[in-house]
Structure formats: C-alpha cells, structure tokens
Structure 1
Amino acid sequence: MQVFSFKTVVKGFITLPFNTSSFRLGDVLFEVEEEYRSNQEYHIVKNNSENIVLNNTFTVNDQNLDKKDYILYRISTAVKAENREIAHQTAVEKVNQRLDLISLLTKGRFDPVKTGITLSQMDNKKTRVASVDVTLIGVFDSETIHRLQEATRAMTWIDDNIRTRILKCIRFYRKGLLEKQPDVKFIFFMIALECLSKVKKSNKAFPVCKKCKNEITKCIHCHSETSYEPAEKTLIKELLVNDLKLLKNSEFNKLYKIRSSIIHGGNSISKKELNLIEHENLRLRELIPASVEAVWKNHMLADQVKDINIIEYWE
C-alpha cells in the first residue's frame, strides 16, 4: 500500500467568515486561493467554448469576473491504495462525499468533482491542480463550518452499512438540488428520505386481525411466528413522524400521495398538480437536511458508536 496525495479545485460562490481562508472536514482540506481573495479581477478557465452560467441568473461572456461573484477553492487530501488508479478513484469519491455534506447543510448546488491530480510520495513532479466545471456551493458561516465538522466526526461512529444509507440519502438529495424538472426533483428527494428508512433498528411487525384489530403472532395451523420486516414506507414514517417529529401524519401521507400520483398517474401533470409539487419540493429541500441532522443530534445511532476515546475522523 502506498500513500497518494490528491488535489483538485472547485469554483463557486462561497462566503467564509472574515479572516478565514480554510477549513477542514476530517483529513480533507479546503483552502481559498490567496490570489483570489484579493480585490483584483482574475482569470476564469473555460473547459469548452460555451458560456459559463453562474447562480442560474446570468452568463459570463468574457474571462474576467468580479471577486464578489466568484471564488476558487483548492481541495487536498491523502489516501492509501495499491496503485495510482485506485487512489484516484478513492480520492474523488472521498472529496465528493464531503461536498455532499456541504450540499446538505448549505443547500448549495454544484457538479461532482471528476478531475484532479493524484501523486504518490515517490513522484518527483511539481504539484498542479486540474480545472473542473464551474460550481455553486452556497454560503458559509462559522456555524455551518462547525456543523460540517461535527457531521464529519459523527460519520466515524456509524456502522458501515448505516453510513452507506446516509451517504445515499445525501447523494440523492444533491441530485434533487441539481434537477430542474419539478416532478423528477420530487422523486429524487423522496428517494433520499427512503434511504434513511433503516438508520434505526426496526421492531418486528405482525399482521392484524381485521375484526378485533389484535396482532396475529402465530399461525393457527403450524404455530410458526408470523412476524415480518416493516415496509420502508412504514419505517420512514415512524422515523419522521414518531421519532424525529419533523412531520405530522397528514403531511407524510400527502407526500406519498404525490409520489404515487407522479409514478402511477401517467405522463400528464396538471398546472395545479405542478404547483403542489413545487410547493412540496420547497418543504423537502429543508426537511431532508433537518432529518439527517436530527439523526445525529438525537443519538439515534448510539448503539453503533465506537469507543469515543479512540475515534478517528471518517476516512
């Protein structure tokens, strides 16, 4: 196994607290390029002949852009791998997971990192940074940075399978932020919520008698137990309505009614339905980050926590 260093850049609209030029999420370092913190205009690298669109509101037609609208971040980290190719893939995924967390807590939109420079300690090359697509990351403050660092630390406490579910949730949330079609955006957001359905251990469920409403715990013929694993819809409802208390029962049912309408209702969506979907997208945009943070805050994964005295940052 060798140690490889990885460097890349993200470009976007990011505001850090005064006199702050960097922050760290575990062993991934985000640094503002000092030359880009000056008041001078600076050069934009275009990846193709198309105009660069920022903030979804205006287009840049030249290669100069005022600092207040644009900033460049250098990202660096290290990974252990058997060869450069595996190291590059590992590092890209590692950086994107941190960007997922940033997206979750700032609700910023940006494209995934795909390019960068991966060097081993044996490489005698000058370090350089590869350009990536223009990104929009969001607005930072000291509280957001603290929440990001706490989130990164919390990820070390979680069982690998549970961590994968949470990361999938955040990844689909990010896809939803990028999506322009309201109905597709809604489905991405709902998938993100459903990924959280197994972040807590579920109790056994039993069928219920239609007449007396009592649970049927054993088969009357073979006497075997009749328990079953609750459906994901049931689990996510328990999580959001009963445990986290982020939704009322009627609000949750409304979300699933819209979900069913989009998936099973054919190709046409009325203007009234579209307005309703767009309204619920605004709710989901806030609900998903709140749900993930509530899971961490309420220690719902306490039984998964490792020895707190020997915690290493999530890698």
Structure 2
Amino acid sequence: MTTKPLIRFDWAMKRLLRQKSNFVILEGFLSELLKEDIIIEQILESESNQESYEDKFNRVDILALNSKKELVIFEIQNNKQVDYFQRMLYGVSKVTTEYLGLGERYSRIKKVYSINIVYFDLGQGKDYVYYGKTDFVGIHQGDLLELSAKQKELFEKEAVYQLFPEFYVIKINNFNDLAKDTLDEWIYYLKNDEVLNNSKAKGLKEVAEYLKIQNLPEAEQNAYFKHIENKRIERSVIDTAVMDGIDIGRAEGRAEGIAEGIAEERARAEEEKRQLVLQTARNLKNLGLSNEQIAIATGLPVTTIETL
C-alpha cells in the first residue's frame, strides 16, 4: 500500500524545499544516500543554479550548505541530454570556485557533493544508483596515494578522495519498484510520487505529510497540474523531434539530415514551450495572482506578464 499521489520532487524543490521548515525532507534524503546524519544549514544561490527559460522544463537545482560546511548540489534532469556528464563537472567546478574567496588558501576550498537524479538512460549501465570519487593509484606499485599525518590534521580528512567532489547518479527509470532498504524507499517516491506505507527512511514521513497535492492553495494546484501537463507535452515533443529527425536523415541518406531534423523540431518545441508558459501565466492572472507571484511561478519577467 502507498500514499495517494504526492507532489513531484522537482516541483517541491522549486517551490517548497527551499523553506527552512522543510529542510528535514532534504536532510532525510541526503542522510539515506550518504549513510550519515546530514543537517542542512541553508540554501545558497550561485551562478550555476540560476534558472533560465530552458531550466523551467529540464532541470531543478538546489545548492545547499550542510553543518560540516560542505556544499551539496541537487539536480533533477527529466529529458535526455547527451553531455550531461560534462554538465555535472561544470556545476561542481563552478560552485567550487564561487565559494573560495579571493586570495584565500586552497585549503579553504569546500567539499562538494553532486547529487544527480535523472529520468533518462544516462550512459550505459544496469544499476540505478552510481557513485563516483577521485582516487590516485600508483601506475607502477599499485598503491593508493594517501594523506600525510599533518594533512589529515589540517584538513580534518582521512583520505585524499574526501578532498575532491563526490558524485551520485540515480537513474530513476532503472529502479524496479522493489524497495529493499531505506534508500530504495526514497527512490520509490522519486519514481512514483508516492510513499510506501510503513517506510522507515528519514524524511519520508514529512514527505507524506507536507507534500500532499491537496495541501496546495487552489492557484498553486492549478499551476502544479499545468506543470505536469507541460512535462508530458515536452516529453512527447522531444520524442517526436528525435523520431522525425531520424526519419529525415534516413530518407535523405545523409547523417546531417538527422541533426537538421532534430534542430528544426526542437526549435518548434521551444516555441511551443514558450506559448505554454505564456498561457499558464494568463491562467494564473485570471485566477487573480499578482504579477510578482506569476513571475515566480513561471519565470517570466514581470514586464512580460504586464502585457498579457
């Protein structure tokens, strides 16, 4: 048995989990993933997690600072992106440099965790949770490069990899819905928007309590359902674009036909997405929301909303 459908995690990250009262939800997820008790001190802003127009349809970023003064990047990607690995690297590199003050020693660089929740088949692999870290192994002796005693004392770390970013990739679609442990209980929610009854995972009790769709104000519910519909349309448009691009390429017998077909379809898709956002803004305006509230919900500039 499960709870009734709950708010999608990406929507919650955008609108609800940035509130300090709801930090317990993100803390629970992180604690189950990292296998230690995590406390979030604050949600930060950086150049790498600013939302662009495309972000409204593709990803949600949260940058958090935990009680150990470590940085945690949360990112959800709904649609396939061939260079997503490079984007993970860029995001980590960006926040690493942003949070090192000018003239500060390198020893002040903050530890970064990159948590990536993807709803497409990233790379090739059958598992649904992947972990990556940096180790240095001797090419002749095969030994692991380790910290000196002085470095351990200075950095308060036991191993070299702990100084470097660590990456987690959760491939939601590979999960078979059989929850064998508390992390699986979280992944079940991420995939199905439901919490299994008698779940013991940290934070899921609060998810079931606070992320009920019926708890949203009516205007927010309307915006949420429109968001879900946009996701379906976006997925359909992109799938069609890929198929049409492939068909064009085969028909013309040229590899570039695929790229051109996909580019044209994506351009049409972008215009459709823009029109959907504008229509959502009109609907919210008709419901009586202020221009500033609509701007937060849609990402449109207030000046654009004023002209609708």
Report the TM range for the smaller structure's normalisation.
Answer: under 0.3
| TM-score between the two structures when normalised by the length of structure 1 | 0.25
- Identify the structure with the greater helix proportion: 2
| TM-score between the two structures when normalised by the length of structure 2 | 0.25
Flag the structure with larger Rg.
Answer: 1
